[in-house]
Amino acid sequence: MKSAVSLMKGEDIRKSLLKAMEHHGGMEAIVPSGATVMIKPNFTNASPPETGAACDARIVRELAQLALKAGASQILVAEGIGAGLVSLKDVPGLIEISRIKGVKIIDLNDEPTEVVRVKNPLVVEKFKIPRVVMECNVMINLAKLKVHPQAVLSLSMKNMMGALPGRSFRDPQEAKRQGYLTPIIPGGGKKIFHDLARDQGIKAMQKAIVDLNTLIPSHLAVIDGLYGMEGKGAPVRGKPVKMDLLIVGTDLVAVEAVGTAVMGFNPLSFPYLDYAVEKGLGFKSQLEDIQIRGEKLAEVSRRFEPASAAALWDENHP
């Protein structure tokens, strides 16, 4: 049996999302009546969505309204925003969403954590995870379509790093002293991933991302590809790419694989997808085993320019 992933193109977010959800039985098939639903968007910073750096808050609003209509008792829009002193209040459109009855905005940097151990870990034995994340009934993973200088890709699975607390700061001198691959000093729970990338390489960081996702399962994965981001400076200071795409599915690995292919990369070249299948995070990682509904992959994909860690050290880079 093939896993299904919806690949929708168009500027009408509500129409695309509704059609995508029809492919998966509607939001009612994902959200039980009375459930507490967490929407975890990618707000790396508070950049406008047309930069490609952060999610479009309009998608958050539509997902929240669909979940409430399906019978959710509460919607928690939660993110451990990582950019210095930037607040979730600075994210365009998020204040308006917080005024919807039943919706609450949570900065995961401020939440109490608990130590959770990974069963049969690939590389990380335990994480400190906010209790509110572990207590939610349904996780909607709203990621971006971006490249990354360390993880290579910034899609659904990497998005869960933002569920951990920890603000990062740009400090080239200290980062160079500590040997980091980028001029960013990671904070809190996010530090372990950057340490692994520095000390053991990119594949170790990818394995750690798999370990984290085993503790925080995604019941619905949505990739915001309205604007993607490519090239030097990504995932924050790269070049925006207008794609007008939403990628939606209940199989986290299949959604990740389709997002990888949309950016012109071969999913077979990323072993972490196979590790994720082995860990039960999804069923399919190979495109021939995935039923893509909506647009044809070949007609909407393009080759994204990879990110460059070296470019991030250039203070003059836009």
Average pLDDT for the chain: 96
| Domain-located, residue 243 | yes
Question: Is residue 203 in some structural domain?
Answer: no
| Span 60-111, pLDDT tens digits | 999 999 999 999 999 999 999 988 888 898 999 999 999 999 999 999 999 9
Q: What is the pLDDT of residue 85?
A: 80
Judged against a pLDDT cut of 80, whether residue 316 lies above it is answered with no
Domain for residue 317, yes or no? no
pLDDT at 284: 87
Q: What is the pLDDT of residues 209-218, one digit of tens each?
A: 999 999 999 9
Q: What is the mean pLDDT of residues 175-196?
A: 95
- Residue 265, domain member (yes or no): yes
174 within a domain of the structure (yes/no): no
Q: Kindly report the number of other CB atoms within 10 A of residue 298's CB atom.
A: 7
- At residue 99, what are phi and psi to the nearest 5 degrees? -85, -10
Average pLDDT score over residue span 34-49:
96
**Residue 316 placed within a domain:** no
pLDDT digits (tens, 9 = 90+) for 255-308: 999 999 999 999 999 999 999 999 999 998 999 999 999 999 999 999 999 999
Domain range for 303: 3-166+214-307
The 10s digit of each residue's pLDDT in 214-269 is 999 999 999 999 999 999 999 999 999 999 999 999 999 999 999 999 999 999 99
- Global confidence as pTM: 0.97
Q: What is the CATH number of the domain that holds 53?
A: 3.40.50
Q: Assess whether pLDDT exceeds 70 at residue 1.
A: no
Domain count, the chain: 1
Q: Assess if residue 131 is contained within a domain.
A: yes
Contact 103, 64 (CB under 8 A): yes
Is residue 205 domain-resident?
no
